[in-house]
Structure 1
Amino acid sequence: MSSQFGVLLRQWRQRAGLSQEALAQLAGVGIRTVRGLEIGERTDPRMGTVRSLADALKLTGAERAELFAAAGRDEPVQAEPVRFDPLAEAAETLKVAVEARWRREEEQRQIHDPVPLPVRWDPAPVELQDSWLNIGGEADLRGRLDQVVEVYRKVGSRRLVVLGRAGSGKTVLTTRFVLDLLKARDVTDPVPVIFSLGSWHPERVGLRDWMAEQLIRDHPFLGAPGPSGGTVAAALVDAQRVLPVLDGFDEIAAGLHRPALNALNTTTLPLLLTSRVDEYRDAVEGTDVLTSAAAIVLADLTCDDLADYLPRTTRKNVWTPVLDEVRGGGALAKVLTTPLMVALARRIYSDTPDHDPAELLRFHDADEIERHLLGSFVPAVYGAEAERVRPWLGYLADHLTRLGTHDVAWWQFGTSAKVTGAAVGIAVGLADLLIEAVVFGALTTRGLVFAALIGLVAGVVFGVVHRYVARTAPLGPVRTRLRLRGRLGKRVWSRGLLGLGFGGAVGGAFSLVQSLAFLLFSPGLRSAADLLVDAGVYVPVFGLGAALAFGLVAAMEAPLDVRSAGSPGDVIDANRRHVLGLVAVVVPVFGLFVVAATAVAVGGLRAVRWPVLWTPAGALTLGLVTGVGGGLAYVLSLTAWGQWVVFARVWLPLTGRLPWRLPEFLDDAYRRGVLRRAGAVYQFRHARLQEHFARLR
């Protein structure tokens, strides 16, 4: 084989027009090695030598393989270098988070205790789905809960609408769909994610942008920069690595169902959409069916389903009279046809000692039975505490109804009230009053009045600003950590200009308060010209200081890392750390700037022989007060976490509408099955429960 190797080597060297010396130089081997191989003196070339000679001769394919075979060697296949794919890693992380979340939700809602209620469906009427030519081939869509993925894959377009009346099992189906699809998922398949459509306003934001916002809200790590300049969440949506499971089309605000359906028809995204029948039918009649989508309708539970399920939920033989009544038809048979009502009945009677389901036989009207089950749910899960918690749940439901949402979002507490600006103003005013009193000493009448005036002005200014911001750009959770960017961008400059105007206004208000204090307690000590000079110092100093602080805030914001979690408590904690860390950095910068700028201004005034009353101690006091007071006022009025503190932790508990330990109350309601988690927010277990409690207000 070595002689054949020499023959091939000489033949291909000559074809390339190379001398032995030139080939040796190109291959990085000795001239004696090339000569010895060609004449057969060397019979066992090393693998590296053969590869270098083949590279130098630019051999590929069959010729390269022939040369290695002649040397008695097989060239090892070199694996392509593994390229890092940030979207693949993000999708895999998202998959783990989604699977863990919805598996916990199934356990929390006792879906498998003792067995899942049977959920079956039939094909929807033809007028509620598109032509099979557009869907991609006709198929039998009948099935049951454990076949949901199989049925979905029969739909060629991968666009399926699931219809059903209230409580018919749509949420149970979406949860099982996500978990079963994740179990069978290949690494290249999209990750199914449940999106609650109730918060989507299709006339304000497109579907893809809204989905990206929801992903970042529930999974903050997806707010990191993506490969194309946007966020990772937006990149996942655009690359169709997320399969949207759009739950609750009927929960979109009234009047927006038809625009929502039009918006859905502008996309070609594979999806699964759930809705009550009537709302979807109305939207279809006013626009068109969901393009390329098949549709199914969830079926009612049967008497046999109840007979197989209810007796298994308790060791006591208490359900026989109820089942006998159901077999005879009537109001009870009409009510116990949805998983929601059956689950309520099970929780009230099977899971609660000394509650006999035979009391259901006293009712003869379907609406009356439903009201009884809904009204008995809280006493069943809370026992003696029911009367205490019912008003709190009622306030929550009323708050969500006024906001037009189903999401109990911690950053939205208080936003449905009419006194948000006043409440924030009072909080800021009291906080600044306390700071001024401590620093200036409110033991004297002058100190107390001055502190009160400062608190009043700060409260009014920040209360007005909060009210304006809450109306134009509602405060949301901060998805950032502290990190200085490499360069200043447009956002930094715009924030700086905002700070310049805001700080100038605060400086003018501060000078006005000081003037009033001098007029009240030291009349004649300062002239009108002196007071104007004070204003000429405060306005630019405070304005430039606020511009620096606001710009620094913008420059220090960067996305949270992958370790950030998306539960309500974790997001609150992340926001608190962010706000407090930001204040720890920005407040000293603002305070030192005020001290330095004031010293420069005073030096300039003294240079022109203008009488001033400033002292170094006074300048340091001013910097301390304005830095700490301004930072605290900013937190309480212009951050979502501050809004949470003002309303959820003080104002609403103080007025008796919510408990003082609100996070613990919400978590307890979740563990009892009254609420469910959907990422960073809570929701009532079912929209019917929310409607029930809202009517109690």
Structure 2
Amino acid sequence: MSSQIGPLLRGLRLEVGLTQEQLAQQAGLGVRTVQRLETGKPTDVRMGTVRQVAHALADTLGRDRDEVWQELLTAHRGQGEVSVPASPRPAPEEIHRPSTGPVPEPVRPGGRPTGGMLAEVADTLAHDVRSRWIREEEQRRIHDPFPLPVRWRSAPEGLLDHWDNISGVAPGPSSGPLSLDGDLAQITDIYRRIGSRRLVVLGRAGSGKTMLMLRFVLDYLGTRSSDDPVPVVFSIGSWDPAVTGLRDWLIDRLLRDHPNLAARTAGRSTLAAALVDAGWILPVLDGFDEIAVGLHRAALAELNAISLPLLLTSRTEQFADATAIGVLRKAAGIELTDLTTTDLAHYLPRTARPTGQGELPDRAATVWDPVLDELCDQPNSPAGINLTAVLRTPLMVLLARTLYSDTPGQDPADLLDTARFPTSEAIEEHLLADFVPTVYARHPPARPDAATLRPRRTWDAQRAQRYLGHLAGHLDRPGQRDRQDLAWWQLSSALSLPSRILAIVLACTAVMTGSTILATSALELTSINRPLNLSASLLGGLVLGLSTGLALGLLYGIAVVFGKEAFNPSRVRLKLPIGGRQKAGTPSRRLPTAFGAGLLVGLAAGLSYIPAHYVLLFPGVVDGAQLEIQAPVETVLIRSLLYASIYGTAGSLALGLMATLETPLDVGSAATPAGLLAINRNTVIRQALLVAPVITIAVAGTYQVLEGSSVQGLLGPPEVPWEWLARGGECGLAGTLSYVLAFTAWGQWVLFTRIALPLTGRLPWATMAFLDDAYHRGVLRQVGAVYQFRHARLQSHLSSVPHTSGHG
């Protein structure tokens, strides 16, 4: 009985209205393969090939993939019995290379319960991750008009572990290497064929590693079962393996990008830690080559110390250097290949506007025709050699598309001008240099959030290039810990530490001066024995503010040097324990730290009385001073300690109470940069509304208690009955605002990123709006709660372009 696969395949293709070329493209095959299947000429049809065609047809028809595949197999069996492998895998006919040994059965990771709290949390995380990367895929226009073909071959065996270790087979006859050749549509299937579930993706800069990573995450989640781990992307370039273990770093990044995972389990660990420890996380580690060069081998040793499944991307050269002594244990590898001239001929014309009838009857002419003619007809000409070398990676093709297909009036034939572009490097530099000016020459993109009512901001290309250059330079500067992530709470480090301390001192001085003037003026207006003296109030506020600001600036500098994580965004909110007690393991465990911090800040403020006393009582500075000029040094010291105890008690009580009322953020979805900023702004405002009245009451109450004690003479009698309340309000207002500006992530965002950096011309006043706009123009990408430059090559180029500070 002859095979009926040809007529059935042709009928299904005509039913959906596809040409043979279109079906081949969707299936990731050559058009000749489809032609041979329809004519029934092949005598050894590969099951992987049939499966690819079946999946492409099923997706177009809206039918079940396995159902269509079984129909085609049944039709084919008329030619002879064809055994169906237990776990068939697609393998394009053009690139299939048989393995030299038996193919091991896919191994499913086990050990995770299919139900329970962690399983539900993992499902929620999977939904969040999928939603995030679908948006990112749309933002990158990967499917416009269709994905660039990303293909690969098995990586050189000298960079990998023994195949028996990768497969996990028992000692004995070798299973032999497994062919991993494939293309973008096969990445998940190929990954599941690897027994260890550890895969390294290698390639040159811009070769499509990130595109492959993105497709892997989405395809894996699309076929994920209830007990499969959740693939989560981690930009590994910010990891310092000499300081932080991989497990702890993964947990920290999960908490940053998914604040709801800060909630604690019954065992008092965070949900993030519980997911990692239980094997619910499949780390997708992007950018091994972005780790500092001297740390590559330390990173490799740390990766070998864990048995987690993973997918790791890296440039080939850097990974080869790191594995010169030892390999990544149990990891298979693939290496991405270059795009071909045929790929360019299929892709570039469809990205451009038709300009007329083409040479072929079914093809429209475009601006790319002269370029493609040169590459196809004269590949060995100087222009053809240079341009072919450039357009071999998806990154450069997408840059060329942006400059010439998406921009009216531009002629890509200019790229063939060898006088202007004598080398391939000159062409690459041109594409990189013109990318930002080109995308900023367009109208601003529509806002994705229709609920945003703020007026649309625009930036001219020159200013945008300058701001982006400063941001890239900030990431690439020597000693920078995080060389990838543009995190809003870390942008303040673009200022030197002395500059930040100076800003803290000035801000705290201004806050203290204002609150002192308000309190003193109110007291003088209501006291019959104390006339209004604005100059004395101003001077007193300045001196007290400056001395307090210097103390707080010193504390800030100490916190920066010794507390690297001191100013990360808050992962908690305040919640009154109404209707029941707080859950075990809430952040009230921070009570000792918060209590100590409040005590230190209060002591610093109290000790500032010493310099203030001598300045204010210097003869002729302030008339009618209430304290004796000749007060003994001992009296001044005692007064200072007394004030320090009052303010320290108030500060510790306020921050301690705040810590006891903290509970993890109730965030139902993954964090975004703007979303995390808004959450932290609201959290800090609520903290301030709690801290200010607590400090006010604590200071006023302490004064009242001490009024009838033996130390009353040191404080002096109140001139009006409510003087202590006014002084408490002064401390509450000044102390709270100083704490917010100096010791919270949002306060430093306001002080440094919204004020100080724009004053120097290094960032725009509307920084977050600028970052969001750059993201929607395709210059930046969004990875969790941070932005990153779309590609390391673009970041490197922008950081190397000279830029001068200016105001914008």
Give the alignment's TM-score, normalised by structure 2.
Answer: 0.73
For residues 191-230 of structure 1, the aligned pairs below 5 Å read: 191-230=230-269
CA shift for structure 1 position 179: 0.3
For residues 175-254 of structure 1, the aligned pairs below 5 Å read: 175-254=214-293
Which amino acid counterpart does residue 413 of structure 1 have in structure 2? L
- For the aligned residue pairs, the C-alpha RMSD in angstroms reads 2.1
Equivalent pair of 2:646/2:699 in contact (CA under 8 Å): yes
Match of 2:539 among 422, 440, 449: 449
**Structure 1: gaps of 5 or more residues:** 1-81
Equivalent pair of 1:602/1:614 in contact (CA under 8 Å): no
CA shift for structure 1 position 678: 0.2
Structure 2 counterpart of 1:407: 485
Summarize deviations over 1:115-163 as a string: whole Å, max 9, x none.
Answer: 1000000111111111010010532100000000111111111100000
Match of 1:380 among 438, 445, 449: 438
CA shift for structure 1 position 90: 0.8
CA shift for structure 1 position 619: 1.1
Equivalent pair of 2:196/2:309 in contact (CA under 8 Å): yes
Structure 1 counterpart of 2:14: none
Equivalent pair of 2:673/2:785 in contact (CA under 8 Å): yes
Structure 2 counterpart of 1:518: 617
Structure with greater helix percent? 1
Which amino acid counterpart does residue 322 of structure 2 have in structure 1? A
Stretch deviating more after TM superposition (316-325 or 403-412): 316-325
Which amino acid counterpart does residue 279 of structure 1 have in structure 2? Q
CA shift for structure 1 position 188: 1.0
Summarize deviations over 1:385-415 as a string: whole Å, max 9, x none.
Answer: 2112111011110111122411110000121
CA shift for structure 1 position 611: 5.9
Alpha-carbon separation, structure 2, partners of 1:611 and 1:652: 44
Equivalent pair of 1:157/1:292 in contact (CA under 8 Å): yes
Equivalent pair of 2:639/2:714 in contact (CA under 8 Å): no
Identity score, percent: 47
Structure 1 counterpart of 2:469: 394
SS in 1 for 2:608: helix
Alpha-carbon separation, structure 2, partners of 1:427 and 1:610: 28
Establish whether residue 263 from structure 1 lines up as the match of residue 302 from structure 2: yes
Structure 1 counterpart of 2:631: 528
Which amino acid counterpart does residue 596 of structure 1 have in structure 2? G
Counterparts in 2 of 1:343 and 1:260: CA distance versus 1, 3 Å = same
For residues 278-357 of structure 1, the aligned pairs below 5 Å read: 278-286=317-325, 288-316=326-354, 317-327=366-376, 328=379, 329-357=384-412
Alpha-carbon separation, structure 2, partners of 1:676 and 1:494: 36
Summarize deviations over 1:545-593 as a string: whole Å, max 9, x none.
Answer: 1221232232222211242640001100111111111111121111101
Alpha-carbon separation, structure 2, partners of 1:181 and 1:83: 18
SS in 2 for 1:430: helix
Structure 2 counterpart of 1:505: 604
Alpha-carbon separation, structure 2, partners of 1:227 and 1:600: 43
Structure 2 counterpart of 1:664: 769
Structure 1 counterpart of 2:553: 463
SS in 2 for 1:410: coil
Which amino acid counterpart does residue 350 of structure 1 have in structure 2? S
Alpha-carbon separation, structure 2, partners of 1:610 and 1:560: 43
Structure 2 counterpart of 1:654: 759
For residues 587-626 of structure 1, the aligned pairs below 5 Å read: 587-605=692-710, 612=717, 615-626=720-731
Which amino acid counterpart does residue 171 of structure 1 have in structure 2? T
Match of 1:577 among 664, 682, 687: 682
Structure 1 counterpart of 2:646: 541
CA shift for structure 1 position 461: 1.7
Which amino acid counterpart does residue 140 of structure 2 have in structure 1? R
CA shift for structure 1 position 664: 1.0
Summarize deviations over 1:3-34 as a string: whole Å, max 9, x none.
Answer: xxxxxxxxxxxxxxxxxxxxxxxxxxxxxxxx
Which amino acid counterpart does residue 292 of structure 2 have in structure 1? A
Structure 2 counterpart of 1:88: 119
Equivalent pair of 1:605/1:612 in contact (CA under 8 Å): no
Which amino acid counterpart does residue 561 of structure 2 have in structure 1? R
SS in 2 for 1:228: coil
CA shift for structure 1 position 615: 4.4
Alpha-carbon separation, structure 1, partners of 2:291 and 2:756: 30
CA shift for structure 1 position 607: 7.4
Counterparts in 2 of 1:235 and 1:601: CA distance versus 1, 3 Å = same
**Structure 2: gaps of 5 or more residues:** 1-112, 168-174, 355-365, 443-459, 522-531, 803-808
Which amino acid counterpart does residue 491 of structure 1 have in structure 2? R
Query: For the pair shown, which has the larger CA radius of gyration, 1 or 2?
Result: 1
Counterparts in 2 of 1:665 and 1:562: CA distance versus 1, 3 Å = closer
Alpha-carbon separation, structure 1, partners of 2:255 and 2:616: 49
Q: How many residues align?
A: 615
Counterparts in 2 of 1:443 and 1:119: CA distance versus 1, 3 Å = farther
Structure 2 counterpart of 1:479: 571
Equivalent pair of 1:537/1:598 in contact (CA under 8 Å): no
Give the alignment's TM-score, normalised by structure 1.
Answer: 0.85
Summarize deviations over 1:584-616 as a string: whole Å, max 9, x none.
Answer: 112111110100111111211377899645643
Equivalent pair of 1:606/1:612 in contact (CA under 8 Å): no
Alpha-carbon separation, structure 1, partners of 2:609 and 2:713: 24
Establish whether residue 416 from structure 1 lines up as the match of residue 474 from structure 2: no
CA shift for structure 1 position 506: 1.4
Equivalent pair of 2:129/2:670 in contact (CA under 8 Å): no
Equivalent pair of 1:195/1:214 in contact (CA under 8 Å): yes
Equivalent pair of 2:606/2:641 in contact (CA under 8 Å): no
Match of 1:366 among 421, 424, 441: 424
